[in-house]
Chains A and B, each alone.
Chain A
């Protein structure tokens, strides 16, 4: 018998706006002018927060902080596609997702300032706490999706993670579970091409990350992660598919980490400045401004006004964050268990 081919594969890539701001009209999501401007404001807000967080860290007012510079579109574009009510499992570099969902900004300063009270998700918002242990939250997303399926809810679940997380066993285990059970989950990777000092080429031998989904029996797509509308479109489609029983989707947002890994890192030790400079040309905010300008939705005055508004909102969040009195020592016992053991109660008394 001759040898035969059982499977071949291809990987789709989606981009809608080019770096000059020209759009492929056929692919544009149907967003109104106001909705487009809301996207712009959220991108600005995320960037403004980021700049302020870096400054606060330098002044010692918050601790180690992971910058989101350059990744705003991948975060805002996807989160804006959520209908509300979805369960979200973030990693630790998704400030833009939190803002888009309406998570209180001062709480993020609080968390990165070393106060776990910042992790308390407001009621009505189903966002799991930041996950510091890379990739370990992906099975939770599969599990929540399995829960929704078990209950018969038309719920979609979304998980965010980085390129480095795709090396973890948890990534593969979650993907397999999602594929086997055709779970309503959307996996969104912010492939910023670095995991601290490890470049993508040393993280995986595959050409794309998106294709990893194919091995688990579901679709993977790569989108231009610096194109807020491409991310938006891909996410919305994946969510609709999930809700209507079509199973999981993996969206690889190809983007770039413009800053150091965190404020504790010095990326100049391991990556060339030219590489970073090349990506500056593809800045997601700049691109969206050009796009909006071509449609008469943006000019310098409008930008200045929106920047002022974002600054104001962040100023207010910093003020609120710094007005919160420090936690009392006994608070480290709060929420350890539904009920403290007699020994813990005694320890709490001694600590207070």
Chain B
């Protein structure tokens, strides 16, 4: 089995799915001849041609809006937004249209599309290249939000996302693109959307983390009896897996790099409070980015939750 990094795994998933299903098309800025600014779509233009690998003009709203139209027409568009910070111009298309065309047309039209975008901080890139605003999208019914945590899950989740009958936002943690290699099987396999994974079993405390924070959390919890959950799909969230773990451990720490206030950690804490509070031995602790716009390179390391802060939260909750 080949050892691939996440860039190669996503590329492989796209290539295989485009070969298997001629409805699948890729569109976005620089995805064609250039192969994408992170080389995710490298070689696809040469293999599938300009009709299926579409270099668009510079317009995020047109990219996502066109994907809605193509999807309704019967294609399976995979749109790329070059960085998550540039998706905001397409929010109208995502929220007012992609998310609700099924509802509004009473099921007559649907939008089976994927929007892929690099996300997250820690690559020392310019402004708006390090956003992690996943919670905005989780708040919108009708859109699924997926975050792979490594090459293996990236391929399996992307295939599932492309085949999903509804719009999926596929957030690729930029910091992980080339950080780890894993065995990634060639050919068909999908990981079901909406299903979490126990990344590390444990008994004393449950820790939830996704994106590049998952890697950091797994290192930080070494030496602790911690169960680490990798949700993989943020919306719809796999409450069953999370609640089962919390009922076992009685403690919960949530780690995300997005700002604390109204981040997804709030939804997780609230759900646990509603459904498992009697199992909790202590408060739920969120380790999150502070409530500031992501700073540039000189300060970003102070923005991201550090391993020390993660361990501090574990120590705190384990006192109960």
Residues on A facing B (Cβ under 8 Å): 63-64, 92, 113-116, 130, 132-136, 164-165, 167-170, 195-198, 202-204, 264-265, 269-270, 326-327, 329, 331-333, 336, 341, 343-344, 347-348, 351
Q: For A332, list chain B residues within 8 Å (CB).
A: 290, 292, 295, 299, 302-303
Q: Is the CB of A133 within 8 A of B30?
A: no
Q: For A348, list chain B residues within 8 Å (CB).
A: 290
Which candidate, B32-40, B191-199, B273-281, is the interface stretch facing chain A? B32-40
Cα A130 to Cα B62 in complex, Å, equals 24
Residues on B facing A (Cβ under 8 Å): 29-30, 32-35, 37, 55, 57-59, 61-62, 85-86, 88-89, 124-129, 260-261, 290-293, 295-300, 302-303
Query: Shortest Cβ distance from A201 into chain B, in angstroms?
Result: 11
Given contacts A327-B298, A332-B290, A336-B293, contact A196 B29 (CB under 8 A): yes
- List 9 additional A-B contacts (Cβ < 8 Å) besides A63-B125, A130-B127, A265-B37: A114-B298, A116-B295, A168-B61, A195-B58, A197-B55, A264-B125, A332-B292, A332-B295, A347-B292
Among the listed B32, B33, B37, B299, which residue makes an inter-chain contact with A264, where contact means beta carbons less than 8 Å apart?
A: B37
Interface centre among B129, B260, B293, B296 (most CB of A within 10 A): B296
Cα A264 to Cα B36 in complex, Å, equals 12
Q: For B37, list chain A residues within 8 Å (CB).
A: 196, 264-265
Among the listed B55, B85, B126, B293, which residue makes an inter-chain contact with A63, where contact means beta carbons less than 8 Å apart?
A: B126
Q: For A269, list chain B residues within 8 Å (CB).
A: 33-35
Q: Is the CB of B30 within 8 A of A333?
A: no
23 A-B contacts, Cβ less than 8 Å apart? A63-B125, A63-B126, A63-B297, A64-B125, A92-B126, A114-B298, A115-B298, A116-B295, A130-B127, A132-B129, A133-B86, A134-B86, A135-B58, A168-B58, A169-B59, A169-B61, A170-B89, A197-B30, A198-B58, A327-B298, A331-B299, A336-B293, A343-B291
Cα A348 to Cα B37 in complex, Å, equals 35
- Residue ID in chain B nearest A350 by CB atoms: B290
Q: Is the CB of B30 within 8 A of A336?
A: no
- Residue ID in chain A nearest B60 by CB atoms: A168
Q: For B260, list chain A residues within 8 Å (CB).
A: 343, 347
Query: Shortest Cβ distance from A55 into chain B, in angstroms?
Result: 18
Among the listed B32, B124, B261, which residue makes an inter-chain contact with A114, where contact means beta carbons less than 8 Å apart?
A: B124
- Residue ID in chain B nearest A116 by CB atoms: B296
Q: Is the CB of A168 within 8 A of B296?
A: no
Cα A197 to Cα B62 in complex, Å, equals 18
Cα A327 to Cα B30 in complex, Å, equals 35
Cα A332 to Cα B290 in complex, Å, equals 9
- Residue ID in chain B nearest A197 by CB atoms: B34
Cα A195 to Cα B32 in complex, Å, equals 13
Among the listed B35, B89, B303, which residue makes an inter-chain contact with A169, where contact means beta carbons less than 8 Å apart?
A: B89
Q: For A169, list chain B residues within 8 Å (CB).
A: 59, 61-62, 89
Given contacts A168-B59, A329-B299, contact A198 B30 (CB under 8 A): yes
- Residue ID in chain B nearest A267 by CB atoms: B34
Query: Shortest Cβ distance from A7 into chain B, in angstroms?
Result: 25
Q: Is the CB of B291 within 8 A of A167?
A: no
Q: For A264, list chain B residues within 8 Å (CB).
A: 37, 125
Query: Shortest Cβ distance from B29 into chain A, in angstroms?
Result: 7
Q: For A197, list chain B residues within 8 Å (CB).
A: 30, 32-34, 55
Q: For B57, list chain A residues within 8 Å (CB).
A: 164, 167, 198, 202-204
Given contacts A114-B124, A133-B85, contact A198 B29 (CB under 8 A): yes
Query: Shortest Cβ distance from B88 into chain A, in angstroms?
Result: 8
Cα A329 to Cα B303 in complex, Å, equals 8
Q: For A63, list chain B residues within 8 Å (CB).
A: 124-126, 296-297
- Residue ID in chain B nearest A92 by CB atoms: B126
Q: For A165, list chain B residues within 8 Å (CB).
A: 58
Q: For A115, list chain B residues within 8 Å (CB).
A: 296-298
- Residue ID in chain B nearest A269 by CB atoms: B34
Cα A203 to Cα B59 in complex, Å, equals 10
- Residue ID in chain A nearest B296 by CB atoms: A114
- Residue ID in chain B nearest A198 by CB atoms: B55
Query: Shortest Cβ distance from B80 into chain A, in angstroms?
Result: 13
Q: For B127, list chain A residues within 8 Å (CB).
A: 130, 132
- Residue ID in chain B nearest A172 by CB atoms: B59
Q: For A136, list chain B residues within 8 Å (CB).
A: 89
Cα A132 to Cα B126 in complex, Å, equals 8
* Nearest 8 CB-CB pairings of A with B: A114-B297, A197-B34, A167-B57, A329-B302, A164-B58, A347-B290, A114-B296, A332-B295
